[in-house]
Structure 1
């Protein structure tokens, strides 16, 4: 892989590369340029030169390029999914789904490109008023390794359709698929300089995106501490920001819930992508009256999960993506064990056997009787570990669910319309699911409250995030 700057794939100015490893085997699956601040500045310059022509293009023509790229992505979804599995670790089925999801996003913003948003009024005494939405200019995006294709789509789809140009930095442990997707966009007709992909460390490339005064907006998805640093670095230039900083999503299972349906919701909501999803189920609150039956069914299903290399047949959960993530997860589980914060009823360790070799594997884990002040509830647990607590009623469930500095997503499982009405009103979260969890179609706004971030991605709202309003008042003579 090379960096994409001004439509050309080139080596970094440093001439150095870094290896990308398969998290299931430790094998090298590719290399990417080790870029620095000078590479990023070159990308910003290219984006600036491309902006005038791109922003002047008919929005439908901008959208058509995304549509043509989406067709090619779908045609090559197995190839791209295999690359994603190799560098990220998720099972091939999940990887292909993510690649198709990237295509869905491009197609959605192509559909929105048919009409630009604006407002018109005729105000007596003032004349005609127009409120137009104009592109911001050069935008920067910093994306994580857990869902690189989907999150790349979330950022480039609305930004490019709105007429902006962009500099994008993928994560160091999963840059290869993003490079291929950018290559497909270029092949579909995206002009040079409109999308530039620069790989390298967050402390240099990422910080230059946040600091560079020519970049008008930064969209960051990742860890909260890093997000705060991005905000500080962007503050002097008063950049617009979208920050999606993770969460600790609660799931409430009421006594009238369909137990088997809710169990399957946990399996997908917690263990999809090895639990490495911002909106994964990370805290489970079950009514006492059904807890024994629910946990019995859940444990049986969890122990059916097959852990292994995502490219192998029958594997339903791959490894964690990287060593620091695995080490942090182990520390959290060990801390809960040492403090007697619950009972591990399954999992709680790495799997044994030669097939797991140098991979970053951890067994799917259930921990019951977890107190509200446990590290497993107060911190974001980014891996296949689920803490469980019982509650007596809805009042307690809501109080405990909202007792968190995070507020990204939440779900409730019930048949009661009264419960649904109250929970959706009172849960402190940017997105609330009812009898489902984790699903985030491109048509709906996505983002958090409290320390889960600011701004929104997806939907028509995302176009607003990548534009600014210009008011025009006309008085005819």
Structure 2
């Protein structure tokens, strides 16, 4: 753990293991934090707040920019560590580390942008507004993209003058801890960023309940997010909740099928399908379905599964046993209930030197009934159900048949299809002729049960700032 700028053990003296999901080997052991550790970290962040809030935004930016430079210099080392604990191929880990640095640099560029306004008011009066940091914030990080999502949370929080206590996922804390040490090396004052490792039901809940924590930013499953919202409501705390989705991909009859196939392969099987905005459901027009599915099947069969540290690997393992068992059970359920036809994949592959890894074949399933779990749940893994639709109206109806609303994509060359598709899809993010594209410059977040609030873009700063109005009479 890191509290007050120093590496510390848990008050209990206990540790827990970090396992490589590709090999089952022990990578490291980290402190198993307790409620006491969470309280100490919050106190550290609280003590550091006034000093950090009074630091000029330009000086904060210089520190974050220095950190981003160190991260770029150590990209290979950090990517290697990320792949070992998370499982994704090295190329994907390098992209994620690059993304971490880019997000920090983006928020450095906004250092002078969060200012108030001078406002004339009626009755010959004047007023002005000021924006102030909230105080101590908590960030709870998932295991699928721990480095990138860490940047999404600490970038706007730190540049706007808040202090943080961050709780990493218990499966992937090592990259977060290393990145925090780099920020300290870059000049971040002690206590501004604290990391407490340990179980969410202990550490996470303690942080959310703490009366000194003013804001919680959480990325993870909907059930946990709803629990956080309930706890936060008792203290009137601000929340940003990114709770996943069941993102649809719509392939129209005039789409570039080669591009759509490439988009589906990346959109579903990147990071072994473990992305909130991954393609979870695909709907293709009947008139081009046979050609499209044939091309997609060939692409899926060509994906190479293996240890992410090895060369020529397209897809690594699932990150943990729980997720692996869930995917196996879900596919078995399809077979037992005859709720679809598996045209490729569906099994645990044999991977050389990785007999204990959490691997699963990239899987394509067609003829899936509307009420199947595959179409109702957020399937976090390398399984893609493909359905056929008559036209755009039916495609949009099927796409919106979910409680989620994070992302969606439509593939067409016709603006008469693109416009209603983009407008009518219930999603916080809609892509046209692409999928899974995210950028720090634009807001990220969903509707319905996909969450509350937005990350990224200038809008994310407002999630970490209080707005005060001052009325003048002179």
The TM-score with structure 1 as length reference comes to: 0.98
Query: 2:272 matched to which residue of 1?
Result: 274
Work out the CA distance in 2 between the residues paired with 1:432 and 1:60. 34
For residues 416-438 of structure 1, give each alpha carbon's deviation from its aligned partner in whole angstroms, at most 9, with x where no partner exists.
Answer: 11111101110000100000001
Residues 136, 162 of structure 2: 8 Å contact kept? yes
Per the TM alignment, residue 63 of structure 1 is displaced from its structure 2 partner at its CA by: 1.1
SS of 2:353's partner is: helix
Work out the CA distance in 2 between the residues paired with 1:12 and 1:263. 48
Query: 1:125 matched to which residue of 2?
Result: 123
Residues 117, 132 of structure 1: 8 Å contact kept? yes
Residue of 71, 78, 81 corresponding to 1:80: 78
The answer on 1:417 being equivalent to 2:415 is: yes
Number of positions where the alignment pairs a residue of Structure 1 with one of Structure 2: 474
Query: 2:132 matched to which residue of 1?
Result: 134
Structure 1 segment 76-475 matched on structure 2, within 5 A: 76-125=74-123, 127-475=125-473
Work out the CA distance in 1 between the residues paired with 2:90 and 2:350. 22
Work out the CA distance in 2 between the residues paired with 1:460 and 1:354. 46
Per the TM alignment, residue 62 of structure 1 is displaced from its structure 2 partner at its CA by: 0.6
Residues 126, 474 of structure 1: 8 Å contact kept? no
Moved over 3 A (4+): 353-356
Per the TM alignment, residue 119 of structure 1 is displaced from its structure 2 partner at its CA by: 2.1
Residues 305, 351 of structure 2: 8 Å contact kept? no
Per the TM alignment, residue 414 of structure 1 is displaced from its structure 2 partner at its CA by: 0.2
For residues 389-443 of structure 1, give each alpha carbon's deviation from its aligned partner in whole angstroms, at most 9, with x where no partner exists.
Answer: 0000001000000010000000000001111110111000010000000111000
Residues 126, 475 of structure 1: 8 Å contact kept? no
Work out the CA distance in 2 between the residues paired with 1:119 and 1:330. 56
SS of 1:121's partner is: strand
Residues 126, 473 of structure 1: 8 Å contact kept? no
Per the TM alignment, residue 124 of structure 1 is displaced from its structure 2 partner at its CA by: 3.4
Work out the CA distance in 2 between the residues paired with 1:97 and 1:38. 36
Per the TM alignment, residue 195 of structure 1 is displaced from its structure 2 partner at its CA by: 0.2
Work out the CA distance in 1 between the residues paired with 2:117 and 2:271. 42
Residue of 43, 46, 56 corresponding to 1:45: 43
* RMSD, matched Cα: 0.9
Residue of 28, 31, 35 corresponding to 1:30: 28
Work out the CA distance in 2 between the residues paired with 1:172 and 1:145. 8
Residues 90, 274 of structure 1: 8 Å contact kept? yes
Residues 127, 471 of structure 2: 8 Å contact kept? yes
Residues 242, 454 of structure 1: 8 Å contact kept? yes
Residues 252, 284 of structure 1: 8 Å contact kept? yes
Work out the CA distance in 2 between the residues paired with 1:419 and 1:126. 52
SS of 2:48's partner is: helix
Query: Which ranges of structure 2 fall in alignment gaps of 5 or more residues?
Result: none
Residues 71, 182 of structure 2: 8 Å contact kept? yes
Per the TM alignment, residue 355 of structure 1 is displaced from its structure 2 partner at its CA by: 3.3
Work out the CA distance in 2 between the residues paired with 1:304 and 1:356. 20
Residues 73, 103 of structure 1: 8 Å contact kept? yes
SS of 1:40's partner is: helix
Of stretches 350-359 and 283-292 in structure 1, the one that deviates more from structure 2 is: 350-359
Work out the CA distance in 2 between the residues paired with 1:455 and 1:336. 35
For residues 288-326 of structure 1, give each alpha carbon's deviation from its aligned partner in whole angstroms, at most 9, with x where no partner exists.
Answer: 000010011111111111000000011110000000001
The TM-score with structure 2 as length reference comes to: 0.99
Work out the CA distance in 1 between the residues paired with 2:372 and 2:29. 40
Per the TM alignment, residue 352 of structure 1 is displaced from its structure 2 partner at its CA by: 2.5
